[in-house]
Amino acid sequence: MTIPPKLPHPPRYNNEEHMTPQDWEEYFAKRAQLDRPLPREEAEALLLKGAALLREKNKAEYYRVTAPIPMPAAWALAVKDAHGFKMVWDWNLYEAKKQYPDEF
């Protein structure tokens, strides 16, 4: 995947993050792979599966199972601004990209 000519706006509060060209390539490859709408029924099924994993104290698997659920736009923007792109790296940003197209 190539880096688009216009990058998203940088995080507002996290000035420590330095994205290399390789980081940007991987970021946009993940965006192409992960960012998609998800029917409500599928999201609910993944949440139920995730809840069972949390009861088993399996956080790593919970994050993997629930990552395809679109992150709420305001939450995604807040996380990106506070912690940088690498914190939202593995999450579905479909809704966030619709609402804040210049941020992701």
Q: What DSSP assignment string belongs to 14-63?
A: -------HHHHHHHHHHHHHH-----HHHHHHHHHHHHHHHHTT-HHHHH
Q: What distance in Å separates the CA atoms of residue 81 and residue 20, rounded to the nearest whole number?
A: 18
Cβ-contact 69, 35 below 8 angstroms: no
- pLDDT computed for residue 2 by the predictor: 81
Domain that holds residue 87: 22-99
Question: Could you read off the pLDDT of 30-58 as tens digits, one per residue?
Answer: 999 999 999 999 999 999 999 999 999 99
Position 5 confidence tier, pLDDT thresholds 50, 70, 90 = confident
- Residue 45 located in a structural domain: yes
Q: What distance in Å separates the CA atoms of residue 82 and residue 62, rounded to the nearest whole number?
A: 23
Q: Which residue, 81, 76, 54, 74, is CA-closest to 66?
A: 54
Number of separate domains in the chain: 1
Predicted structure pTM score:
0.85
